[in-house]
Structure 1
Amino acid sequence: MLTDLNQTNCSSCCCTPGNRIFTVSFMIILILAILFGNLVILAVFLGTKQFRTPQGYLKTSLAVADLALGVLVVPFSVYGEITLLLVNASTSERTHEVLLLGSWHPCYLVGPVFAGCTLVSISTIFLLTIERSIAILKPLHKEVVITKRRTLLLILLSWISSFFLAMIPMIFSHGGIVVEYNPCSRMCNYAPAPASPAHVWQILLLFPAFDFSLLGGTLVINALSLTTIHQYSRKRKLLSGTDQEPLKVSFSDIKAAKTIGTLTIAFTVSFTPIAVFVVGNVLGYQWCTFSFFAFWILASNSCCNVIIYSVCDQRFREGARQLLVSLLRSFFCCWRSPH
């Protein structure tokens, strides 16, 4: 029998005032990290001419999706936790009443945004992998196949399709699935409506099925690209010192492919607990503590891309360094200027 998350006792989720204060502190730090990291990414990719490429636009789309979590999703969790701490709400029914804004619950906006942005991230990483695989496997056709116009169109389609998919549980369940603030995960999650049939909850299996299909394809394509890169490296060593024509794949293309491979692995690792949690709920298991770690591991991934770019991409490091130097110069000039 499916366990109704609406009846979850908050005491089983360790929702004590002390734990709530610690949780809010973690959320605030995460907001600052997400905002700082993704604003740096946007400033570098949009402010530097050399990054205004199809790959740069895709990474910008990924940063916007991550930034949306730091602007809307995580701040609402902070608001929810502080509000519940002040009113000492102990049940999810009471939680629902406390967080209502008039007759409308903010989770009907925040929940689909979280799901939609997660799907955008997965689809964007898939598009990045396709773009890099063409650059590696068909380097002579890269400029013809990969154009800015096609890339921008694919980005638009990925956003539209991802948010449509995020709304499917509410649209096609005919009221059987709602969005509520879950005291276990501390996020707005999909949940079965009271007296809804048990099979309605299985609609949410669409999310892990779609996500792992894309992630699985992405991992396979990345493996193919990295295998090709390894073969190219071996050929370069064999051709060094000879008069044969050099290989057409550039060093920057190889580094970009490795960077995107790292992005794919990081996102797969962070998303897997969510998929396990959703499948477990469909099967009738209630994992309160696990749900908190699953959702917030995924949310924390939104501030990791800037670290991956900084470690793997020398051009990004240089762009970020120039941005930081420019900001510091502006700050000191304003500070020293007479008032």
Structure 2
Amino acid sequence: MNFSKPTAVSATATLPAKLLTIIFMIFLTLSVLLGNLLALVVFLGSKRFSTPQGYLKASLAVADLAVGVFVIPFSVYVELFLLLEESSAGREVNSLLGDYVRLCTVIGTVYAGCTLVSVSTIFLLSMERSLAILRPLHREAVMTRKRTSWLIGISWVVGFSLAVSPLVFGEGIVLHYNPCSRMCNFACVPGTLPQNDWKILLLFPAFDFTLLGGTVAINILSFSAIRQHSKQRKVLANTHMSRVSSSDIKAAKTIATVTFAFTASFSPVAVFVVGNVLGHQWCDFSFFAFWILTSSSCWNVIIYSVREQRFRQRARQLVGISRAAASMNR
């Protein structure tokens, strides 16, 4: 979420650079849509994945899919429209930005909410994996499907409640299309920064890093247990640790990889937000920061494909079925 003041589109941006940016956005849209649709079909269309972990991964895929359906295509539309208007009519780009304020309120809220939901879901995934490693005998009793569904619902409600909080409680905060980041971001009304608004501006990075910090701590505990189990497998043959399966260990490593990837992708945005509150603009950096975070919407599927054999097998089956159906229709 960007909190910078509205600024003009860089005059040094050349036509080839703008076209490359739009091509990148279109490619990312297709990657996010196809990847997360495949993940949803795998997790929701197979009894093998009908588990609390599968439900959580499906929720994460829905949040990523929403970014591919609403957020990125809107940026593509605005960039194409502004490019055509600028080249054909010679109008100033800044004069067109006001046309998107109302719709930007929706798109920006979706982007912020889905980011917060992703962080919450990764935290819940780490908790579920930690139970599988540390308390395998109690996992099914604690993380039931019904309880997991409730937790997923709560994460969505809390995420989107936090997403709208700057607009509700911030006197000088608005959502606008930022020509630096090429996204709908939070911003302070030019010339105003109420005394308490800076606290609201830091709400998102504080929430995200609190959960991500807890997630990292949980993963450290899980991997400490895995390491101990690997070293003392014979000694622990008759204890609860002997019941930890290799699939649970692989799943824990997958979630740890997802956690690391999301933390790495969110960190530049957090740095930018703090710098923005301190008065720095960093226009070029804002584009890279926010689009690195946005590109993380397709990283999860790549991580599943690389690390989870069952996911790869099911994905190949679905691709094979779709190809066979397409050939039959011909």
CA distance in 1, matches of 2:91, 2:309: 50
The 1:111–1:232 alpha-carbon spacing in structure 2 relative to 1, beyond 3 Å, is: same
Show structure 2 runs of 5+ residues with no match.
none
Contact 1:177 1:201 in 2 (8 A): no
Aligned positions of 1:93-132 closer than 5 A: 93-97=94-98, 99-100=99-100, 105-132=102-129
CA distance in 2, matches of 1:4, 1:80: 19
Report the equivalent of 1:5. 5
What is the CA distance between 1:202 and its match in structure 2? 4.0
Aligned positions of 1:6-155 closer than 5 A: 6=6, 8-11=7-10, 14-88=12-86, 93-97=94-98, 99-100=99-100, 105-155=102-152
CA distance in 1, matches of 2:203, 2:55: 28
**What secondary structure, in the 3-state scheme, does the structure 2 residue paired with 1:194 have?**
coil
Q: Are residue 172 (structure 1) and residue 169 (structure 2) matched?
A: yes
The structure 1 residue matched to 2:268, chosen from 273, 276, 281, is 273
CA distance in 1, matches of 2:61, 2:77: 23
Show structure 1 runs of 5+ residues with no match.
none
The structure 2 residue matched to 1:300, chosen from 292, 295, 314, is 295
Aligned positions of 1:255-334 closer than 5 A: 255-334=250-329
Report the equivalent of 2:190. 194
RMSD after superposition:
1.9
CA deviations over 1:215-267 (Å, ceiling 9, x no partner):
0000010011011111111122x459xx8578011111111111000000000
Q: Quick one: which amino acid aligns to residue 95 of structure 2?
A: R
**What secondary structure, in the 3-state scheme, does the structure 1 residue paired with 2:243 have?**
coil
What is the CA distance between 1:90 and its match in structure 2? 7.4
What is the CA distance between 1:290 and its match in structure 2? 0.2
Report sequence identity in percent.
57
The 1:210–1:92 alpha-carbon spacing in structure 2 relative to 1, beyond 3 Å, is: farther
Report the equivalent of 2:221. 224
CA distance in 2, matches of 1:178, 1:15: 26
- Could you list the runs of 4 or more consecutive aligned residues of structure 1 that deviate by over 4 angstroms after TM superposition? 89-92, 243-246
**What secondary structure, in the 3-state scheme, does the structure 1 residue paired with 2:176 have?**
strand
Q: Quick one: which amino acid aligns to residue 209 of structure 1?
A: A
What is the CA distance between 1:327 and its match in structure 2? 1.0
Contact 1:92 1:182 in 2 (8 A): no
What is the CA distance between 1:16 and its match in structure 2? 3.2
TM-score normalized by the length of structure 2: 0.93
CA distance in 1, matches of 2:116, 2:253: 22
TM-score normalized by the length of structure 1: 0.91
Contact 1:38 1:67 in 2 (8 A): yes
What is the CA distance between 1:96 and its match in structure 2? 1.8
CA distance in 2, matches of 1:234, 1:95: 64
**What secondary structure, in the 3-state scheme, does the structure 2 residue paired with 1:178 have?**
strand
**What secondary structure, in the 3-state scheme, does the structure 2 residue paired with 1:76 have?**
helix
Contact 1:123 1:214 in 2 (8 A): yes
